[in-house]
Amino acid sequence: MHTIKTYSKQTYNAMKKTFILATIALIFNTTSCKSQIYSPEDEQLRKEIGQMLLVGFRDTELQTGSSIYRDITEYNIGGVILFEYDAPSQSRPRNINSRLQLQKLCKDLQLLANGNLIISIDQEGGKVNRLKNQYGFPRFISAQEMGIENDPDTTIFYANRTAKTLNSMGINVNFAPCVDINSNPNCPIIGKLGRSFSADPDMVIKHASMWIEEHNRNNVISVIKHFPGHGSSKNDTHLGIADISSSWTENELIPFQYFIDLKMVDAIMTSHVFNANIDSIFPATLSYNTLTNLLRNTMKFEGVIITDDLAMGAMVQHYSLEQMLELAILAGADMLCLSNNGNNYDPNIVPKAVEIIYNKVINGNISRERITESYNRIQQLKDKHLQ
């Protein structure tokens, strides 16, 4: 038999007071852990890390309390990337369903970031086209169609139409044009999708120059891609590794070098291709030999290096988020594209990325100087184009 223990009223009240105080202490300690106080130096470091992140999100309108609202206000992200299709759920809409809606979304995002936000998109035309007719946008043809027609008036017309449309929406960065050489027409991600102007480097330069000039004229930043060239691959880096060691030639660098020499571009996007001739261990995005030794030191590029989407198969099938972030930064990348539009969607990708990079710096895996170097390049880009 169990006896029921009874307490006097005085004892009960004392126990109740102790329990309440203990509960308050527990809540206070938990809250303190969540809102850790950083030194001014560490706050600046975290601010600089946030600027290195280019993030994808779900929502056609900005809502207080959403992950992207938090990422801009609390984590100081450098930019966002917009999509019309949500790959993880295989559904629409993601960020785009009409002209007025997109314009308001971009305006609200920019206001929240005090005018300091990169708002980017992949708007090449043809099959890589986020601004579709069904949402009220005009027709945009592919790079391959422009190259085949080879009429400057046609290329200028569509480049101008693209840039003007983006500018009117409030989008300030376009991940285009592709300056990949169409050396393999059967390349599943370049040639077969009509994303290259030509197999001739001079033709690529000719049409890409017009494209870039029209974007500059309309205050939209062109980001040329995919360094060091994706046109010869037999595989799609969205799905897995694309080894171009036996197909790639130095001709694929010609357009990149041309635009670097003339200082026509302020940003270049990497590719996840593997090329043992340049780096026998890492794909281009994670390769110091490719991004720093080749692109920075040999080719003399001084602008912003942006990774291709780190959610692609060539990355996530072989590297953890922690490995990708560390290797890309050590390789020389300035902005890390976290599209959140691969197989999975993670609303907390930004807090995770910031903590990973911050701890890598605190632990000495990544130097403080490496972060500041990228931060300064990003601010120079923004000062030039966003003000």
Catalytic residues: 238, 308
Closest CA to 353 of 77, 110, 66, 88: 77
Query: Quick check: 82 and 109 in contact, CB under 8 A?
Result: no
Integer Cα distance of 322 and 49 in angstroms = 14
Integer Cα distance of 117 and 113 in angstroms = 6
Closest CA to 120 of 53, 49, 59, 197: 53
C-alpha triplet 75, 376, 214: angle, nearest 5°: 95
Cβ contacts of 373 within 8 Å, gap of 6 or more: 334
Q: Which residue shows structure tokens 């590297």?
A: 319
Integer Cα distance of 364 and 358 in angstroms = 10
Residue 322 φ then ψ, to 5°: -60, -45
Query: Quick check: 103 and 169 in contact, CB under 8 A?
Result: yes
Q: Which residue shows structure tokens 């110091």?
A: 288
Mapped onto helix, strand or coil, the DSSP state of residue 269 is strand
Closest CA to 327 of 310, 347, 303, 302: 310
Closest CA to 175 of 59, 307, 277, 28: 307
Integer Cα distance of 211 and 158 in angstroms = 8
Mapped onto helix, strand or coil, the DSSP state of residue 119 is strand
Residue 26 φ then ψ, to 5°: -65, -45
- Determine the length of the chain: 387
Name the DSSP letter for residue 274: B
- Tell me whether strands 123-125 and 128-129 are parallel, antiparallel or unpaired: antiparallel
